[in-house]
Amino acid sequence: MSKKITIEPVTRVEGHGKVTIHIDDEGNISQSRLHIVEFRGFERFVQGRPYWEAPVLVQRLCGICPVSHHLAAAKALDVIVGAGTGDGLTPTGEKMRRLMHYGQMFQSHVLHFFHLVSPDLLFGIDSDPAIRNIIGVAKKFPDLAVQGVMMRKFGQEIIKATAGKKIHGTGAIPGGINKHLTQEEKDSFLNGPDPLNIDKMISWSQDALAFLKGYQKENKDFIDNFAAFPSSHLSLVRKDGALDLYHGVLRAVDSDGKKILHDVDYQDYLEYIGEEVRNWSYMKFPYLTEFGKEKGWYRVGPLARLNTCDFIPSPLAQKEFEEFKAYTNGKPNNMTMHYHWARLIEVLHSAEMMKDLINDPDLMKGELVTKGEKRSEGVGVIEAPRGTLFHHYGINEHDQLTMANLIVSTTSNNEPMNIAVNHTAKQYMQGQQIITEGMMNAVEVAIRAYDPCLSCATHAMGRMPLEIVLVDNNNNIIDKKRR
Amino acid sequence: MSDIVKFKIDGKECVADEGLNLVDAAKQNGVYIPTLCHLEGIKPAGSCRICNVKINGRYMTACTTPVADGMEVENSTQDILELRKIIVETLFVSGNHYCPACEKSGCCELQALGYKFTMLVPRFPYAFEPKEVDAESTKLYIDRNRCILCKRCVRSIKSKDGKSIFAIKGRGHNAMINIDHELAAQMTDEEATKAMDNCPVGSILKKERGYYTPIGSRKYDKKPIGSDIEESVII
């Protein structure tokens, strides 16, 4: 008799998900699905609002990476107000936004690594959930916990200086930014009391990378093979092929490194990317239209970015990038747990970029906003911490939003996360009749590697509130476990 | 020249020109009486009731009451403050005021009063009546979901030949602010800015200028509403 295992959070917290694992009569895993059962509706309820509200309104999708939505929306509106894309803004406008974005990337990645991932690495995924959480880390590794908190604080302070406040600011406006960096802010970031200064942030970023690489050497089998599978990868890259988290052209490579999307203008994204709806999840499944729904899926995020770009335009991160690329002999890295490695290289890159920008005189003077001939439609794309983020808006002659289409990073990783869950289920649950804490957590670890929006809900205190129900084909409950 | 009158607010000795409304008279004496519909220099309407005070033991709206010799005014007693808090809460639940994304946030008088009266959450149910927005004007965007029907715009914004650009249409709960699009099209940028600034909430927005003032520099970011009056005594 075939069975279905459901892993579902009990509480309805932001970004929750549900995993079902179907087992056939022989005890083999037949199918695994990650269901996203929440519904947000932002694309609908922004309609009718004045277009300049979008960056402030839509960022409330998230409290962890609102800056990404704030900037992606602002970039789309840059097109609408005639400022163009990328270098169409004034130097002050673009550089202040970049600083905001690197601050965001830094704090979000740090939050993910120290708060969400480090308990798994430090204690092991089979360990007691009562210990395997940020409180456990703080008790056993206090220096590391403090480092994580202070690094996140630094990133948040950068966001406050550029967006007005740490969460849900208003800094980016259509065509530019609404403030300069003040001398006081600049001095604070450069020479702030230890450890809150940029040099310490760079140094700690290197330490975190060293820690992860050390862990990887000791746990090579786990890090290299856990939920690993070949895939295509997509991200923005700068026109010269450099890693660029704020602006660029769309590039995708297949699992062998062959370019399958050739540095195209993201204003035309609809020509290249489609979205499939499946009846068991509210989250759509994006794919490259040229390759169809079955084969066109791709991964986004730190791993994808380091697979698509040719180099990193900051010296310390470039050195780490070379080591990262050498590990797979220059070929794309398809190892899911290497997302963490790539993420920490981006932390270092963000810190280096922040240092350059803080020292840039353009941030303290110059025109803030530029505009041109108004258009009725615009697309903004940015590399958010979790991957490529698309915002597309249309307006009417009365300046009201008439259309919004958002493809958020976690959506692009929908199919990869489903595949990762399936791999993990087969690896840990194949032929098993008893579900252990470690098995359940292995599924979560696979999802968590992608740092999806639901990660904070699933791991904030070390374990997701779970209910596992084992049912047969007639929906009879065979077993039920809660934790 | 008008006569000077003496009166007391919460026991404080005050003086002002006879006939001046109590809100402005109090202001001259460094006493803040909160207002939403009142705007200095235009005829008071007494529509929002937030300036309710007790004068010689009776509830009266300060903006419509001329100051008189010997008045005993209660402005900061517990029952007056509670009454004002109730009015603020009622205004919040009557509309759809999502402060976090409103571009008037930080400059909004209703929001500032919410903070002043420590309104954590309204105790009344939200009405959430669907109200249409009017975006047809070239310079202004009218969001009726945020309008508190104070009529400041009706009374203070006129065309060059004195015609009202704004008017209230309907009565009771059907009442809504309306704008004459033809007259509005003739407004200068300065007049459009004035219309937005005079609106105590985020109902009248000047198009294409949202969020230009950074957080930290907005009107009530540094000091709570009324503190400028309480800190400065003109007389």
Give residues 102 to 121 of B whose Cβ lies within 8 Å of A.
103
B 129-148 residues inside an 8 A Cβ radius of A: 133, 135-136, 141
Structural domains counted in chain A: 3
Quote the CA–CA distance of A362 and A173 in Å, as a whole number: 18
Cα B231 off chain centre by:
20
Residues B52, B125, single domain; the answer is: no
B66 with B101, same domain? no
Q: What is the pLDDT of residues A160-199, one digit of tens each?
A: 999 999 999 999 999 999 999 999 999 999 999 888 999 9
Residue A209: pLDDT band with limits 50, 70, 90: very high
The enclosing domain of B24 has a CATH number of 3.10.20.740
Residues of A at the B interface, defined by Cβ within 8 angstroms: 48, 50, 52-53, 55-57, 60, 81, 163-165, 168-171, 173-174, 178-179, 398-400
B38 lies in the same domain as B124 = no
Q: Are residues A116 and A249 in the same domain?
A: no
The pLDDT value recorded for residue A460 is 38
Q: Are residues A347 and A244 in the same domain?
A: no
pLDDT confidence of residue A468: 47
Q: Which domain holds residue A234?
A: 47-65+77-89+229-334+379-412
B211/A contact by beta carbon, under 8 A: yes
Tokens representing residue A202 in the block: 């760079």
Q: How far apart are CA A368 and CA A215, in angstroms?
A: 45
CATH number of the domain that B136 lies in? 3.30.70.20
In a domain? residue B218: no
Are B12 and B69 members of one domain? yes
Six-digit token pair at B2?
């008008």
Q: Are residues B113 and B181 in the same domain?
A: yes
**Torsion on CA atoms A19, A20, A23, A29, rounded to nearest 10:** -40
Interatomic CA distance for residues A301 and A451, integer angstroms: 9
Helices (H), A359-430: 409-412, 414-429
Whole-number Å distance between alpha carbons of A88 and A72:
15
CA atoms within 13 A on the CB side of A329: 1
- Name the residue range of residue B164's domain: 86-206
Residues of B in contact with A55 (CB under 8 A): 211
Are B42 and B129 within one domain? no
Supply the mean pLDDT for chain B: 93
Q: What is the pLDDT of residues A289-326, one digit of tens each?
A: 999 988 999 999 999 999 999 999 999 999 999 999 99
Task: For residues A451 and A11, give the distance between their C-alpha atoms in angstroms, rounded to a whole number.
Answer: 20
**A70 inside domain:** no
Task: List pLDDT tens digits, range B137-175.
Answer: 999 999 999 999 999 999 999 999 999 999 999 998 889
Q: Is A79 helix (H, G, I), strand (E, B) or coil?
A: helix
Mutate to test the interface with A, among B144, B208, B209, B213 (most CBs of A within 10 A): B208
Is the peptide bond between B122 and the residue preceding it cis, with omega within 30 degrees of 0?
A: no
Q: Tell me whether residue B150 is in a domain.
A: yes
Closest CA to A354 of A196, A164, A211, A467: A196
| Residue of chain B nearest A401, judged by CA positions | B135
Q: Report pLDDT digits (tens) over A52-62.
A: 999 999 998 87
Q: Which of A108-122, A340-354, B202-216 has the lowest mean pLDDT?
A: A108-122
Residues B195 and B124 in one domain: yes
Q: Record the tokens describing residue A456, joined without a space.
A: 């904070």
pLDDT tens-digit readout, B60-96: 999 999 999 999 999 999 999 999 999 999 999 999 9
Kindly state the tokens that stand for B215.
């957080």
Contacts of A341 (CB under 8 A, 6+ apart): A209, A212, A213, A216, A324
Report whether A347 contacts A106 (CB < 8 A): yes
| Closest C-alpha to B94, from B144, B44, B168, B47 | B144
Residue A113 sits in the same domain as residue A195: yes
Residue A421 lies in a domain: no
pLDDT value for A418: 85
**Is A178 in contact with B216 (Cβ distance < 8 A)?**
no
| Of the listed ranges A14-23, A179-188, A454-463, B225-234, the one predicted with least confidence | A454-463
The residue behind tokens 């310390």 is: A316
pTM, rounded to two decimals: 0.91
B113 within some domain: yes
Q: What's the number of domains chain B is made of?
A: 2
**B69 CB within 8 Å of a chain A CB:** no
Half-sphere exposure of residue B73, counting CA atoms within 13 Å on the CB side? Answer: 32
